[in-house]
Amino acid sequence: MSGMFHYVACGLPNVWLANGYTETTDGSGDSYFNIADIKELHTAIAHSLVEKESRLTGAEFRFLRSELKMSRKTLGELIDYTADAVKKWEYGENPIPKLADANLRKFFLEIQHEGGEIRALLTQIKNLERQERKLCFTETQAGWEAQIDQCA
């Protein structure tokens, strides 16, 4: 594919760019590539993967999961598999179940649309992964009560 840039930094072996990038060479002869709008490029790649008719490869599955900024653990829990199972799919050690493939595609499409129910759920789950909060309780005459965000 003469004149095209083989974009392997996305983790996929089959992505080529016809334009939208610049190449710079430093004094030692090393080349550096800059992609104009990498976020939009990744969204376009993801959409092409979601729309493809054949099943996702492990690398494609990993790419979509990464674009969702979702850990293997979170995705596994959402589709009732372990993080280790997800890792084995991504590295081609085990085939990706059809329902896992379909659900990941649906998650991606849903998260692209603001206000969707799955998007809200995924955002909530991502936020839960990031924060650990103290659970504080106060004993009252009525019994123990949670004191949310009032821990010292």
Encode pLDDT of 123-141 as tens digits.
666 666 666 666 777 788 8
Residues linked to residue 146 through DSSP beta bridges, in sequence order: 137
Which pair of tokens denotes residue 100? 């896992």
Name the residue with higher pLDDT: 114 or 44: 44
Residue 151 has pLDDT above 80, yes or no: no
Q: What is the pLDDT of residues 49-99, one digit of tens each?
A: 999 999 999 999 999 999 998 999 989 988 899 999 999 999 999 999 999
Half-sphere exposure of 100 (CA within 13 A, CB side): 28
Q: Which residues contact 110 (CB under 8 A, 6 or more apart)?
A: 116, 117, 118, 119, 122
Report the pLDDT value the prediction gives residue 73, as an integer from 0 to 100: 93
Q: Report pLDDT for 8.
A: 93
pLDDT digits (tens, 9 = 90+) for 2-49: 578 899 999 999 999 999 989 888 888 888 889 989 999 999 999 999
CA distance 147 to 23: 57
The span from the CA of 62 to the CA of 68, in Å, is 10
- Fold type of domain 37-152: 434 Repressor (Amino-terminal Domain) (1.10.260)
Residue 1 pLDDT greater than 60, yes or no: no
Residues of the chain within CATH 1.10.260.40 domain(s) are 37-152
pTM of the complete model: 0.73
Instruction: Using pLDDT thresholds of 50, 70 and 90, give the confidence band for residue 111.
Output: confident
Per-residue confidence (pLDDT) for residue 149, from 0 to 100: 61
Question: 10 with 63: CB under 8 angstroms?
Answer: yes
Residue found under tokens 């909060």: 133
Q: Letter for the amino acid at 5?
A: F
Nearest-angstrom CA–CA distance, 144 and 123: 30
